[in-house]
């Protein structure tokens, strides 16, 4: 998901990093592609957290992340400035320069196809992956017009097919049964604004897609972030903590899979050994 709840992915990465859990590859959609991509690029957890803390300023009209056309046609944000902003954090890296392989998932607006990006500019791929339709102009990439990958594959486990010893998936999208918090928001007067309503509608659709196509995973981490609104970027530290708490609850299961090797069919890992090594799917 491309909203503030996606910051919880940082908490999962922090717990895995502190526990010394090796990661062979990350697949991410929207915020999962952004924060997972920064980790793949070699950024430290604190650097990624600091990036998230800057988002309230960066996403303001004067913050440098967004460029708003005078007369919006296909989106309120062009995206060129977004790419330049991201390039600074990704150090203009291409996929083949990443420390850990990354798969960024987007959707082709014209054909409806899922597009798994794994070559070229990382910043451009990440921008495409979180290009919320109607908010961002579709990202022009490789002859396609790409939008947020949440439209087709919010938690992109399938992008890791055949590459996994152990699959750890992280979803920050409230399930259809967990959306009771929406009633609590209304009861407390926390009616979302227009953009929040739009993003919430997307989340409902994404939750349905997850239930129908996420597929089997070895460990599923689900941070409790339903109480946070889509645009509460100023709550970054709280949301990271929610991600940490969810990851720590599941860490014994992750370590058990590492010890026993009980997961997806074993593959030869990057380090040249046949020991099981996890992969991440984040959305």
pLDDT for the residue numbered 179: 56
The string over 185-211, giving b where at least 16 C-beta atoms fall within 10 Å of a residue's C-beta and e elsewhere, is beeeeeebeebbebbbebbeebbebbe
Averaged pLDDT, 203-207: 80
With a cut of 70, say whether residue 235 has pLDDT above it.
yes
pLDDT digits (tens, 9 = 90+) for 87-143: 999 999 999 999 999 999 999 999 999 999 999 999 999 999 999 998 899 999 999
181-200 mean pLDDT: 65
Task: Return the closest-CA partner of residue 27 out of 185, 159, 198.
Answer: 159
Please enumerate in sequence order all residues whose Cβ is within 8 A of that of 140, keeping only pairs 6 or more positions apart, or say none: 146
Q: Which position among 1, 24, 131, 148 bears the catalytic label?
A: 148
Indicate the average pLDDT of the chain. 85
Residue 20 clears pLDDT 70, i.e. is over it = yes
CATH number for the domain including 38? 3.40.1090.10
- Give yes or no for residue 183 having a pLDDT over 80: no
User: What's the domain count of the chain?
Assistant: 1
pLDDT score recorded for residue 265: 37
Catalytic residue flag (residue 148): yes
Among 1, 24, 30, 165, the active-site one is 30
- The two tokens of residue 162 are 């055949």
Most confident residue range from 162-171, 175-184, 188-197: 162-171
| 30 is known as an active-site residue | yes
| Closest-CA residue to 99 (of 39, 141, 159) | 39
pLDDT of residue 202: 79
Q: Can you give the pLDDT at residue 168? A: 96
Length of the chain equals 283
Band of residue 280 on the pLDDT scale cut at 50, 70, 90: confident
Show the domain range for 124: 4-282
């Amino acid at each position: 998901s491309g909203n503030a709840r996606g910051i919880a992915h940082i908490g999962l990465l922090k717990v895995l990093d502190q526990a010394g859990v090796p990661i062979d590859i990350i697949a991410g959609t929207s915020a999962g592609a952004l924060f997972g991509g920064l980790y793949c690029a070699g950024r430290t957890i604190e650097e990624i957290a600091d990036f998230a803390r800057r988002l309230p300023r960066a996403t303001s009209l004067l913050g440098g992340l967004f460029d708003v056309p005078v007369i919006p046609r296909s989106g309120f944000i062009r995206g060129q400035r977004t790419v330049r902003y991201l390039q600074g954090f990704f150090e203009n890296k291409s996929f083949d320069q990443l420390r850990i392989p990354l798969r960024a998932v987007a959707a082709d607006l014209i054909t409806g196809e899922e597009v798994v990006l794994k070559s070229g500019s990382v910043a451009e791929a990440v921008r495409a992956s979180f290009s919320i339709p109607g908010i961002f102009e579709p990202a022009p990439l490789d002859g396609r017009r790409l939008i947020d990958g949440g439209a087709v594959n919010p938690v992109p486990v399938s992008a890791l097919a055949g590459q996994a010893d152990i699959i750890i998936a992280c979803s920050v999208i409230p399930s259809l049964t967990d959306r009771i918090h929406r009633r609590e928001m209304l009861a407390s007067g926390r009616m979302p604004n227009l953009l929040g309503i739009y993003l919430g509608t997307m989340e409902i659709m994404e939750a349905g897609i997850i239930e129908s196509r996420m597929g089997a995973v070895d460990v599923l981490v689900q941070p409790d972030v339903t109480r946070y609104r889509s645009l509460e970027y100023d709550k970054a530290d709280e949301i990271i903590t929610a991600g940490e708490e969810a990851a720590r609850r599941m860490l014994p299961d992750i370590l058990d899979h590492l010890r026993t090797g009980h997961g997806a069919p074993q593959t030869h890992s990057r380090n040249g050994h046949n020991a099981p090594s996890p992969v991440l799917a984040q959305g």
